[in-house]
Structure 1
Amino acid sequence: MGKSSLLKDTIQAIKACPPEIFNFWLFFCTAAWSFSGVAKGFDEGNIASIVVQTTFKKKFGVYHETEAQYANTKGWIVSIATAGAVFGCLACVNLVQILGRKRTMILFTVVYVAGILGQTFSNGNLSALYATRFITGIGIGTTTVLPSIYLTEIAPRSIRGLITLQYACCQQLGVVFGFFFNYGITKHHAGTQLQWQLPTGLQLIPAIIWGVGIFFTPESPRFLLSQNKNTEALKVLAGLRKLPADHPYVQEEFMGIERQLNTEIEAVGGAGVWDLLKETFTVTEYRRRFVLMFVCHLFGQWSGANAITQYSPSIFGYLGIAGEESRFLATGLYAIVKFASVLIFSIFVIDFFGRRRSLMAGIFIQIITLAFVGAYLGATNGKTTAQIEASASMTAASKASIVAIYLHAIGWSIGWFSIPYLISSEVFPVRIRSLNVSILMAFHWAFYFGCSRAMPSLLAATQRYGAFVFFAAICCISIIYVFFALPETAGRSLESMDRLFERPWYTVRRVAYPTSDDLADGGVREVDHKLDGDEEGDKPSEVRISIARDR
């Protein structure tokens, strides 16, 4: 069967849907849950700005540290929140199954608020700052697990990518807040304690907004079904679609979810966390899903973009932008580029051109821009600002390297930043989705912590340019892996992923893109012992039933 046109099929799928499903209530729920993404971005932008402020360094007694000593201190201040996020992700594993998506999210929003208050009033106590940033990180970690699960579970299939990536857009909006609030406050309160306290405390406002908004949203219909609350689940689903409960569209979607849950419950009934872990790693298709996403999160974090964001004021200084205020402005513009890239990508690209193509394009942009910045820093290593300014070619290269950092932000936004969030919540069956997404996000934050913590030392040890060469090399390896192993999930059902993972990872590229049958298949189908086009030696599926897409 020939490959379908993803753009054509997506447009047709949207046109075929009842117009009522694209309604205010769906978009309100999306906005409320997505806005929690501001937490991660706001922290990145805020902490990147305040750790270079003279007032902050004096207040916390680190002003007289040498450059090497402060590189170590700064690394801990910045990265300790990411360590807390690891524990926040793991805490979701049990609570989300007991309390549900909504109540767990509200609980950890309170934890996040407590951490922000502690940071704001740490009053120059470095130990208190470390402790409260760790607590804040616990709350942030939860906000990177639950929204993507919830949004995937309420989204109509035809715009699943658009809905899910609004969370990613809000992460970048948070970076904009973090940098520009610091820029504006620095202009008016430079040299005072408000210069670092006020932008830190302002992180409470988004938390109150999303906390109140989520309070009024319904629980996920998929979670309600898993708790045998069928009547309530159908009512919530009908409300999200703005259609009667007996409407064929609602009934077909509801029955698709119900069939999948019943199949999973029959397969492993009454399983605990340990049982679900064993299921993940003993069922071939599930293990391959986990390994794929584990590697994606590993490459995504060690491609270096988050570390570049967290230390962007310093990096812009390396590239020739002088002055604290000018660097804050440059990093604020950098944040706007990232936010605009994700927003445009989520609306006009992701559901039309697919996850796989977008990711490979983004990685390619990262490789080119990282290599250019690394080459510039290597060529100007040891040269003074005056020497660089005296050379027309080096001055032009300095400006080009700044442009390259902005282009790198675009590549990251359409690639490794957005795609792992989206695909992690798409590839796992409902029964093991929460557990696996929580564990993977814990690894995500562990990798983030490692890269963030290592960045100051990496820049110092490799004379700055080596760090960018290292990140470019990681991106080169990752694009090869993606080419062979990552399937296209756009247009496929949440319940129809098994067939993709019945083959070895290095052969996935042969069936990476969905055919017309994959996109249009409805009902329950029997899976053949061998897929069309499988090489000799490919193992047959251990899962005999695949549930069709929900519409």
Structure 2
Amino acid sequence: MGSEKPSLLKGTVDAVKACPREIFNFWLFFCTAVWSFSGVAKGFDEGNIASIVVMKSFKTRFVLDHETDDQYANTKGWIVAMATAGAVFGCLACVNLVQRLGRKNTLLVFTLVYIAGIFGQTFSSGSLSGLYASRFIAGLGIGTTTVIPSIYLTEIAPRSIRGLITLQYACCQQLGVVFGFFFNYGITKHNAGTQLQWQLPTALQLIPAVIWGVGLLFTPESPRYLLSKNKRTEALKVLCDLRNLPEDHPYIQEEFAGIEWQLNAEIEAVSGASVWDLTKETFTVTENRRRFVLMFLCHMFGQWSGANAITQYSPTIFGYLGIAGEESRFLATGLYGIVKFVSVLIFSIFIIDFIGRRRSLITGICLQIVTLTYVGAYLGVTNKMSTADIEASSSATAASKASIVAIFLHAVAWSIGWFSIPYLVSAEVFPIRIRSLNVSILMAFHWAFYFGCSRAMPSLLAATHRFGAFAFFASICTCSLIYVFFALPETAGRSLESMDRLFERPWYTVRQVAYPTAADLADGGLGDVERKITDEDLNKVTEVRIESQTSKNH
């Protein structure tokens, strides 16, 4: 019974009941809504660009209608992938700026960059080079929105509902996909064949950017960042406002002391270490190197499993599966976006904490392999058949419908597995001393892999007669399943010592101790950061604070 783990929902309900009711207030939820809404940028771009690159009016405006299928596959790959290329640099650029300018100011700056990129795409006037440049600029902003909001939300959320608050950002990403697809569907229904068909949905990306941009002006900087800049009074006031409690309330005093303790612990952990020192520590210490390799491969397998590329080219793929007409394809892709949104929401709340990270990922990968294999087989068999030929055969029609269902199931499989697992595990496996550096590096690799897969997808579909792309993704998933089975442990709740022991052994033996025993679990009641800090670290931090207080008294 002691090893029984409650679900996230039950644990949250119990924790909420133990907290003062005042902390669940309008101001906290307003700040959460504003910062989470910036997640729409990534999903909106995916949904929008997936739709407009198949529009005849778009191809005509950019003088691409004369290109052969192979030529346009190459051009389409560059158009779609330029935003992900920009996101790589946006992600790297904000790492230092967020420490200097703060979370709020950095996101404001890159929101303006994103808006400039959307303007450029909307009014590129048929210039392909202008479209490339503006998509790259918009990508700079998109990359930032995948880093800073998660940091901010974690820092303002009460521990009892931290998981649910940070979840809102992930849901907004998938909500953006729904926006991108359904706006295109509605506009195509009334403006098919005109320039408005692609310009209007592109311009509509400005609306959520303006909403969260204006909203940011009214939200405060995070208490943790203010405290890191020695603005103790301001940090305390912001925390009191977010919790709707006076500064002498025990809850405020305990939480503020906890923030100070964590901050001091992190400062002590990296004291005197340069980026180069931490990089060397990552790759020269065997346990740390194994941690990095594990997460590097997780991000690589996650992107090259094909889910994001399928989303970006879903109207094209639905056309391959027998759905005819732009309007019908956009409707199908809109429903596809809804399936991803709902499955991410349900999985994150009810499933992942019930079956764990490892089982979730293995389940998701297995379902991906099955669905990708079926779609690939269908495309291989019907490769030379026209839509009319498929409709004339009852068996081919049934297979076509089944392949469409398989694509939707693939979206669910990705939500169960590779969508969130790399982020969750990255936050849990690295020691605090090298965590920030490694998560930043891995996020840049994440976007680089995203760019590579996005850029390659149309050419891969063309060169492999469509079915080969799905066979390739299925083979990647198969490789990832083998690796995950041997190398990925269940990380949630493990103590520092237990985590260290996992990476002292060769990767292919981790499966033998993949699931933690009662002795491997961290002491209950402590947060993630506290679990990662040893008694020795705590003593050092205490000494630093005592010395600091002594010097102030003198």
Same fold (TM over 0.5): yes
Q: How far apart are the structure 1 equivalents of 2:330 and 2:407?
A: 15
Q: How does 1:536-551 map to 2 (within 5 A)?
A: 545=536
Partner of 2:94: 92
Q: 1:525 to 1:147 in 2, by over 3 A?
A: closer
Aligned match for 2:38, one of 36, 39, 42:
36
Secondary structure of 2:39 counterpart: helix
Offset, 1:109: 0.5
Greater CA deviation, 331-340 or 477-486?
477-486
Q: Does the CA-based 8 Å contact 2:299-2:445 persist in structure 1?
A: yes
Greater CA deviation, 447-456 or 3-12?
3-12
Q: How far apart are the structure 2 equivalents of 1:429 and 1:154?
A: 23
Aligned partner of 2:383: which letter?
N
Q: Does the CA-based 8 Å contact 2:40-2:208 persist in structure 1?
A: yes
Q: How far apart are the structure 1 equivalents of 2:123 and 2:91?
A: 26
**CA offsets, 1:117-162, max 9 Å, x none?**
1111100000100011110111111111111222222233343332
Partner of 2:74: 72
Aligned match for 1:256, one of 255, 258, 270:
258
Aligned match for 1:194, one of 186, 196, 212:
196
Q: Does 1:364 align with 2:363?
A: no
Offset, 1:502: 4.1
Greater CA deviation, 251-260 or 27-36?
251-260
Aligned match for 2:207, one of 205, 230, 234:
205
Q: 1:297 to 1:545 in 2, by over 3 A?
A: farther
Aligned match for 2:397, one of 373, 395, 398:
395
Greater CA deviation, 104-113 or 347-356?
347-356
Q: 1:167 to 1:224 in 2, by over 3 A?
A: same
Partner of 1:163: 165
Q: Does 1:518 align with 2:522?
A: yes
Offset, 1:30: 1.7
Q: Does the CA-based 8 Å contact 2:81-2:451 persist in structure 1?
A: yes
**CA offsets, 1:433-454, max 9 Å, x none?**
5543332221111101100111
Offset, 1:264: 2.9
Partner of 1:481: 483
Q: Does the CA-based 8 Å contact 1:4-1:515 persist in structure 2?
A: no
Q: How far apart are the structure 2 equivalents of 1:246 and 1:428?
A: 35
Offset, 1:330: 0.7
**CA offsets, 1:395-443, max 9 Å, x none?**
1111011011111111112321233344445555666555433322211
Secondary structure of 1:320 counterpart: coil
Partner of 1:381: 383
**CA offsets, 1:471-514, max 9 Å, x none?**
1222222233334444445567xxx6564244325555526447
Partner of 2:319: 317
Partner of 2:502: 503
Partner of 1:538: none
Q: How far apart are the structure 2 equivalents of 1:270 and 1:546?
A: 15
Q: 1:33 to 1:249 in 2, by over 3 A?
A: same
Aligned partner of 1:83: which letter?
A
Greater CA deviation, 468-477 or 180-189?
468-477
Q: How far apart are the structure 2 equivalents of 1:140 and 1:465?
A: 31
**CA offsets, 1:495-542, max 9 Å, x none?**
x65642443255555264474962515599999xxxxxxxxxxxxx99
Partner of 2:446: 444
Greater CA deviation, 382-391 or 49-58?
382-391
Offset, 1:271: 4.3
Number of residue pairs aligned between Structure 1 and Structure 2: 532
Q: How far apart are the structure 2 equivalents of 1:542 and 1:520?
A: 14
Q: Does the CA-based 8 Å contact 2:44-2:177 persist in structure 1?
A: yes
Q: How far apart are the structure 2 equivalents of 1:391 and 1:341?
A: 33
Q: How far apart are the structure 2 equivalents of 1:297 and 1:93?
A: 19
Q: How far apart are the structure 1 equivalents of 2:108 and 2:491?
A: 30
* Percent of pairs with identical residues: 77
Greater CA deviation, 185-194 or 262-271?
262-271
Q: 1:164 to 1:450 in 2, by over 3 A?
A: same
Aligned match for 1:125, one of 124, 127, 142:
127
Q: 1:332 to 1:298 in 2, by over 3 A?
A: same
Q: Does the CA-based 8 Å contact 2:87-2:140 persist in structure 1?
A: yes
Unaligned runs of 5+ in 1: 528-540
Partner of 2:138: 136
Q: How far apart are the structure 2 equivalents of 1:428 and 1:246?
A: 35
Q: 1:525 to 1:413 in 2, by over 3 A?
A: closer
Aligned match for 2:304, one of 302, 305, 311:
302
Q: How far apart are the structure 1 equivalents of 2:284 and 2:80?
A: 38
Offset, 1:225: 2.9
Q: Does the CA-based 8 Å contact 1:313-1:327 persist in structure 2?
A: yes
Q: 1:291 to 1:25 in 2, by over 3 A?
A: farther
Aligned match for 2:175, one of 155, 173, 176:
173
Partner of 2:150: 148
Q: How far apart are the structure 2 equivalents of 1:424 and 1:34?
A: 21
Greater CA deviation, 287-296 or 132-141?
287-296
Q: Does the CA-based 8 Å contact 1:161-1:350 persist in structure 2?
A: no
Partner of 1:4: 4
Offset, 1:308: 0.3
Secondary structure of 2:38 counterpart: helix
Secondary structure of 1:6 counterpart: coil
Q: How far apart are the structure 1 equivalents of 2:172 and 2:528?
A: 37
Secondary structure of 2:3 counterpart: coil
- Give the TM-score of the pair, scaled to structure 1: 0.88
Q: 1:390 to 1:197 in 2, by over 3 A?
A: same
Q: 1:525 to 1:386 in 2, by over 3 A?
A: closer
Q: 1:150 to 1:31 in 2, by over 3 A?
A: same
Offset, 1:29: 1.9
Secondary structure of 2:125 counterpart: coil
Offset, 1:237: 3.1
Greater CA deviation, 515-524 or 471-480?
515-524
